[in-house]
Amino acid sequence: MSRLLILASKLGYQTRSFAEAAKKLGIEVVFASDRCHQLEDPWSDGAIAMRFDQPEEAARRIVTQSMVRSIDGLIALGDRATTTAAYAARALGITYNSPQSVENCRSKLRQREILREAGLPVPGFFSFRLDKKIEKILPRVHFPCVVKPLRLAASQGVIRTNNPEEFQAAVARIKTLLQSPEIQVTHEEELDRVLVERYIPGTEVAVEGLLTRGRLRILAIFDKPDPLEGPYFEETIYITPSRLPEEMQERIANCASATVRALGLTHGPVHAEFRVTANGPWVLEASPRPIGGLCSRALRFGPDRTLFEELLVRQALGMPGSDLDREDDASGVMMIPVTKSGLLERVDGEDQARATPGIEDVQITARLPDFIAAWPEGSSYLGFIFARGKSPAEIEAALRLAHSLLKFEIVERLPVEHPVTGKLPDGGALGENQKNTG
């Protein structure tokens, strides 16, 4: 029996979906997570405990474990696990991306530098340390611009600013977020820097692709019909197939191929984001991971409507059946936005939303009475709405109607001192759920 290693955060939404897809194929699953080794195994499956901020040491733990339970392939879920996966794959002789190529993607600054050097369309940018005086930074800033952390995902901490006052406020807000205990405990690098880049107007798309020994196959191009103009960039609706002209879709696909080639990625899933203007696509980012959260449920392949997770499991283990095309039906997902930070006290309208024509399912993933943070501090959604039908327009209408039937009661959280720092929260905390966007 083949054995698949799934590297995932201890709170990741996707983990069970991939495990179930593997077991359906008769594949044994081994988990590796960034949980404390002294805590109970969250899956009761002998998960390997490690720290993703120490990827080489984490990879050594995997190699040691493989001497007892051999590993034939691996999948990394979320950005943090990809570097560990790369080191482990290299040590085990498993086809995957190189550690350097993955690190090229992990830092937004490094990725921008590489893509600019390769001549790809990226917005003008620069970076600075947060201990620099704003007065010395402002002469370099051209408005409107976007300010963002270098390592966070899910648009967390990403803010558009239009003038010096907004810029100064955004930098202060991001600094508070990056210094929060919830972020500091990740031990991510570059938490003392931010990236400033020119704001590019236009529509936005997400691309799901699959690399096989250097060749990128586009699985889907998702339109994002809601305008992402700021000041924050919480995503909502993804719909495929794209309604963009075929010529523009081809340009996006070509730009995606050039992007992964410049970054050095060669094998496995790719999730990429692009801004699209009349002059063509601009690269926002590319990551060597599958689409996040439960969004993958919007993707099915072949006449039997094979799940996206099964497609990736087959590819990771070199099994046939990873070359299926996406189904003909249109499909979409809505990541239910967070209107304000607070405690989720009540959810109404789920049954009515599920009964909406075209809606396949509604999953409320935020728990009662968890605290959930709105963007830009937040990175978790209230849940997901899934739709499938004959046209993208039909899907969009169904998603919007279903969402209008849902009612969320979010109440303000009373300030409580942090048990370690003794500080009062100022709205800069993460929600209870792990990052779960595209």
Backbone angles phi, psi at 12, to 5 degrees: -65, 135
Dist CA 349 CA 181 (whole Å):
35
399: left (phi over 0), alpha (psi -120 to 50) or beta: alpha
- As a whole number, mean pLDDT of residues 293-297 equals 93
- The confidence band for 417, taking pLDDT boundaries of 50, 70 and 90, is low
Question: Does 431 score more than 50 pLDDT?
Answer: no
Domain boundaries, the chain: 124-198
- The confidence band for 47, taking pLDDT boundaries of 50, 70 and 90, is confident
| Cross-sheet strand order for the sheet of 407-411 | 371-372, 342-348, 407-411
Best CA proximity match to 197, nearest among 135, 155, 153, 140: 140
Instruction: Find which of 45-59, 101-115, 408-422 is predicted with most confidence, using mean pLDDT.
Output: 101-115
Residue 139: per-residue pLDDT:
97
Question: Does 11 score more than 70 pLDDT?
Answer: no
Mean pLDDT of the chain, nearest integer: 92
Question: Does 437 score more than 60 pLDDT?
Answer: no
Amino acid of residue 429? A
- The confidence band for 423, taking pLDDT boundaries of 50, 70 and 90, is low
Residue 117: per-residue pLDDT:
98
The answer to whether the CB of 128 falls within 8 A of the CB of 149 is no
**DSSP-based three-state secondary structure for 16:** helix
Q: Tokens for 36?
A: 């404390």
Residue 14: per-residue pLDDT:
80
Chain segment 328-360, per-residue pLDDT in tens? 999 999 999 999 999 999 999 999 999 999 999
Best CA proximity match to 388, nearest among 311, 300, 304: 300
Question: Does 428 score more than 80 pLDDT?
Answer: no
Chain segment 100-144, per-residue pLDDT in tens? 999 999 999 999 999 999 999 999 999 999 999 999 999 999 999
Question: Does 427 score more than 60 pLDDT?
Answer: no
Of the chain, the percentage scoring pLDDT greater than 70 comes to: 91
Dist CA 70 CA 310 (whole Å):
21
Nearest-10 crossing angle of helices 99-106, 82-92: 180
Residue 429: per-residue pLDDT:
40
Chain segment 131-185, per-residue pLDDT in tens? 999 999 999 999 999 999 999 999 999 999 999 999 999 999 999 999 999 999 9
Report how far apart the first and last C-alpha atoms of the chain are (Å, whole number).
32
Residue 40: per-residue pLDDT:
46
Query: Could you say which DSSP state residue 370 is in?
Result: -
Question: Does 430 score more than 70 pLDDT?
Answer: no
Residue 43: per-residue pLDDT:
47
CA distances 389 to 75, 196, 354, 393, 406, Å, are 30, 40, 15, 9, 21
Architecture of domain 124-198: 2-Layer Sandwich (3.30)
Residue 46: per-residue pLDDT:
64
How far, in whole angstroms, is CA 282 from its chain's centroid? 19
